Structure 1
Amino acid sequence: MKPYQQIAIDECGEPLVPIPPEHFAFEIPHPYQKLGAPYYNSKADSPYYLRQGVIDSLIAAQTQLQQNHPKWKILIFDAYRPVEVQQFMVDYTFNQIALAQGCDFPVSEDKRQVIIEHVYQFWAVPSMDTTTPPPHSTGAALDITLVDENNRRIDMGSPIDEISERSYPDYFANSNHPQEQPHHRHRQILKNAMINAGFQQHPNEWWHFCLGDQMWAWLTNQNNSGSQLIARYGRY
């Protein structure tokens, strides 16, 4: 169990609704659908759904971003993710790492444990327990980046879903390399817009933000000595 999964959930019952296309850019076709992830049993007809309150705050983040960068947009890479899709992507990532390391299949138990621990540094456990839902399965978490007026991605220094330390939000913070310094600046622009709109950022992933789920409550509580928050969004 990860620390944030100890946070209690008081489900508010807010609906899962489509992200309005007029406000944002989208990763089309969706990256996990291209791999064959099983969305066909999903409660939404695409991955681009979030809880209504999360969308309201995301629109506020877009407004905040465009105050200083009027031609930039938030690009939605991924949003709502059923637990079945979470399991598919954990398995896919495990197999990709095992192949890259030259492992024989089936992978030995010792090696399997090492790889799966590495996977779970970045991917949430695909738990079916309603008290420990994967963040994306609540409709309160999303993976995003930025694009310019020509719909070209702003360079963040590493791709979304990379399993490495380069994914840590502040990885480039102390770099003296002139080609790497803009990476941290771009990440900070994204982070500031999202944090000012009420989101929290995943400690290991520059692209993952959440609002209202267990991770959001846990991260907020780390900086709050007063009353402790609980989650308002559980598994959808």
Structure 2
Amino acid sequence: MTNKIAPPISPPSELSWDSVYAVPCKESYEEIVPLSLAPEHLLCRSIYFERQIPGALPECYAREGILERLLHASSLLPHHLRIVVVDGWRSTQVQSYLFRECVNAISTLHPEQAPETISQMAQQYVAMPMTDHTKPAPHATGGAVDVFIADRAGKRLSFGSAFDFPGDISGTTFFEEKIARNESLTKQDEEALYNRRLLYFVMTQAGFINFHCEWWHYEYGTQRWALETGAEQALYSPVNFSLDPYASIIKI
């Protein structure tokens, strides 16, 4: 399959956080594993560690089931392309930092909005830090990853917006919606449209679901995944993770 024949992306299911958090979880106790050990198939770049965000790890980690599905997704790409993972499991410290950063960015873009509205807008892009273990941020479970595609020469494909940009253009179906409104696309828009379709196709074929506000964000085994797929319960609850070899995964 090439990026230009991946099928269009259907309109998203816009689920409220309340409905997501209502889904129960039966912890699978899958291990958290590094994602960088098969570089011929999957590349990793810990973007928040590069940005020197407090608490970010130099490696990307996720559940074993996530790694298996990432490798499957990568195998569906044309041979000259690979999936690049830029984030996986997150600590509460990192999640808190990112939420504050997003709130500040949106406040700058929309100074006319009230703080409560700004917080709601921020939650379209970054989940609130966990205060209740039944309401975890998806990344805190090890069941969410942020990804894009690059070619084997190291060139990142264009997706039309920067990673983590808190704006409408980051929505997965942004360009699909322009087509539905009979609006014209530039060549750059078309390239981003095809690349988003390709990423969406290989990731969903591997069992992931996409968070509709972010073209780069995919989940499996989380509460949102369970709600969207009709599963009775989530597979992954929030976990603490340590690089200490004597530490084990501990449910929060």
Range class of TM-score, shorter chain? 0.7 to 0.9
Match of 2:33 in 1: 17
The alpha-carbon deviation at position 98 of structure 1 amounts to 2.5
Is 1:3 equivalent to 2:19 in the alignment? yes
Match of 1:166 in 2: 169
SS at match of 2:76: helix
Instruction: Determine if contact 2:125/2:166 at 8 Å carries over to the other structure.
Output: yes
Is 1:97 equivalent to 2:109 in the alignment? no
Is 1:208 equivalent to 2:220 in the alignment? no
CA shift in 2, pair 1:218/1:47, >3 Å: farther
Runs of 4+ aligned structure 1 residues displaced above 4 Å come to 100-103
SS at match of 2:74: helix
The alpha-carbon deviation at position 2 of structure 1 amounts to 3.2
Instruction: Determine if contact 2:36/2:59 at 8 Å carries over to the other structure.
Output: no
The alpha-carbon deviation at position 101 of structure 1 amounts to 4.6
1:171-190 matches, within 5 Å, as 171-173=174-176, 174=179, 175-179=183-187, 180-190=189-199
TM-score by length of 2: 0.79
Letter paired with 1:52:
E
Is 1:50 equivalent to 2:59 in the alignment? no
Q: Any gaps of 5 or more consecutive residues in structure 2?
A: 1-16, 240-252
The alpha-carbon deviation at position 186 of structure 1 amounts to 0.7
Deviations 1:83-104 (A, max 9, x none): 221111101121233344568x
CA distance in 2, matches of 1:99, 1:170: 25
SS at match of 2:95: helix
CA distance in 1, matches of 2:130, 2:159: 30
Quick one: percent identity of the two aligned structures? 27
Match of 1:127 in 2: 130
1:14-93 matches, within 5 Å, as 14-21=30-37, 22=39, 23-27=41-45, 30-39=46-55, 45-65=57-77, 69-93=78-102
SS at match of 1:74: strand
Match of 1:107 in 2: none
Instruction: Determine if contact 1:47/1:80 at 8 Å carries over to the other structure.
Output: no
Instruction: Determine if contact 2:27/2:234 at 8 Å carries over to the other structure.
Output: yes
Deviations 1:135-162 (A, max 9, x none): 0000010000000121111001111111
Instruction: Determine if contact 1:39/1:46 at 8 Å carries over to the other structure.
Output: no
Aligned residues: 215
